[in-house]
Amino acid sequence: MKKLGKYSMGLGDRFGHQGHAQLKAIIEAGKKGVEITPVWNKSNREHMIIGTNPQDVRIEADTVTKNAGFKKPYYVDADHINLDTVDKFTGSSDFFTMDVASYIGKRADESEINRFLEAAGKYTGKLEVPGVKKPIKCSMVQLHNIAEIYLFAARKAGEIYRKIENSKGAGNFVTEVSMDEVAKPQTPVELFFILGMLGIEGIPIQTIAPKFSGRFNKGVDYAGDPLKFANEFEEDLMVVTHAIKEFGLPENLKISVHSGSDKFALYHHIGSIIRKYDKGIHLKTAGTTWLEEVIGLAEAGGEALDFVKEIYVKSLEKIDELCAPYADVIDINIDSLPSGSEVAGWNSKKFAGSLRHITGNPEYNPNIRQLIHVAYKLAAQEMDTWFMLLEEHEEVVGGCVYDNIYKRHISRLFDIR
Ligand SMILES: [Zn+2]
């Protein structure tokens, strides 16, 4: 069975040019004693917006690992797929993030609900989860309620899983289930029973992406109380460990943190909790690499700086259209966005400083950062120039990508230098 390593990282590379710089960060961590499995992920939404196809990601991952002589496992993740979109990913992916968010809240048949209640009813009352201080209480009524919200989604996950299994063969791919793109976070007790439903479905799930409380906005830091998050994360971790035993799930099942890039307020907590219990983690980062491309080109100056300024101006014009698909995962204060004419006068340092995620730098502007984060479509519309600039300034851009992944993400999460 393809078994995902203890630590893994989802690396998004929308334009397929930074795989080598990302891999360099993974290799550097390995030299410091932290083995991280790289997973190149790209969602159907990103493929549609840019005009790429899943095979492109496979080619990139195979090429950069071969060129670097990287002999350890790596994966290509069909990110956020569902029954409608999975088919075009089956050939090139060996990691599937099955997104069941749109099925949550739809009601399963009463007979299915009753079958689940019969199987899981024994866990009602006081559920003692080792490591969780107070017993988790769940009455039969609450369990029925949880089944009404989540059972249909779990059944759909089973359907998607079996569709992939039919075409790829059991054990030839890694399975993740994501439910992060929903309005309401799942509680630890809900997570326990969701894992039970997935176990009953026979899905060999290796990573689960719950929605946590607080906001996980794209490309910027966590908005919420980090200590509250730490408690919730620790409880979820205990629940996952318990569910593995109770429901016969793969022993390496771990938590996947989505929109995991740039959550600097949380890395110390996540890192110390997983080390305390000797558990794994999957940290999914994506668009942060595209932002580093823009920062790198801003630093390069000249026509590269002009090009990214132009992207900013156009992103202001098209702000509503660009933000719409990401409404739940961005939080832009429009009043804090400088005008196009103001930005036109900026030098490399000012533009890069506004965009680069250095908390404490007075130039850093999270509103600009989030807007550019969703504006990658504008570069895709001028793909020839964009690729020409990326290739011309490969070194400076690659340096930015590397620094971001290694210094701001890996070294903080895994407490290495
Ligand atoms: Zn996600």
What is the Å distance from ligand 1's center to 347 Cα?
35
The C-alpha atoms of residue 235 and residue 132 are separated, in whole angstroms, by 6
SS3 content of the chain, % helix, strand, coil (to 5): 55, 10, 30
SS3 238: helix
The C-alpha atoms of residue 233 and residue 288 are separated, in whole angstroms, by 23
pLDDT score at 181: 85
What is the Å distance from ligand 1's center to 334 Cα?
25
Query: pTM for this structure?
Result: 0.96
pLDDT score at 133: 81
What is the Å distance from ligand 1's center to 143 Cα?
26
- Asked whether residue 305 carries a pLDDT value surpassing 90, the answer given is yes
Indicate the pLDDT class of residue 401, thresholds 50, 70 and 90: very high
- Asked whether residue 182 carries a pLDDT value surpassing 90, the answer given is no
pLDDT score at 286: 81
pLDDT score at 135: 80
Inter-residue contact 366 to 330 (CB < 8 Å): no
What is the Å distance from ligand 1's center to 135 Cα?
30
- Provide mean pLDDT across the span 277-294: 95
What is the Å distance from ligand 1's center to 415 Cα?
25
Inter-residue contact 118 to 200 (CB < 8 Å): no
pLDDT score at 324: 93
The C-alpha atoms of residue 339 and residue 320 are separated, in whole angstroms, by 16
pLDDT score at 206: 98
What is the Å distance from ligand 1's center to 212 Cα?
11
pLDDT score at 384: 97
User: What is the per-residue pLDDT across 32-53, written as a single tens digit (0 to 9) for each?
Assistant: 999 999 999 999 999 998 999 9
- Asked whether residue 316 carries a pLDDT value surpassing 90, the answer given is yes
CA distances from 89 to 8, 31, 153 (A): 20, 33, 21
- Asked whether residue 11 carries a pLDDT value surpassing 90, the answer given is yes
What is the Å distance from ligand 1's center to 180 Cα?
5
CA distances from 161 to 87, 177, 191, 292 (A): 12, 10, 19, 35
What is the Å distance from ligand 1's center to 213 Cα?
14
Inter-residue contact 117 to 200 (CB < 8 Å): no
Inter-residue contact 202 to 246 (CB < 8 Å): no
What is the Å distance from ligand 1's center to 78 Cα?
11
The C-alpha atoms of residue 330 and residue 220 are separated, in whole angstroms, by 9
Average pLDDT, the chain: 96
What is the Å distance from ligand 1's center to 19 Cα?
20
What is the Å distance from ligand 1's center to 99 Cα?
8
- Asked whether residue 132 carries a pLDDT value surpassing 90, the answer given is no
The C-alpha atoms of residue 366 and residue 333 are separated, in whole angstroms, by 9
The C-alpha atoms of residue 349 and residue 136 are separated, in whole angstroms, by 52
Q: Which one-letter amino acid corresponds to residue 133?
A: K
Q: Which residues pair with 99 in a beta bridge?
A: 178
- Asked whether residue 396 carries a pLDDT value surpassing 90, the answer given is yes
What is the Å distance from ligand 1's center to 125 Cα?
32
The C-alpha atoms of residue 104 and residue 102 are separated, in whole angstroms, by 6
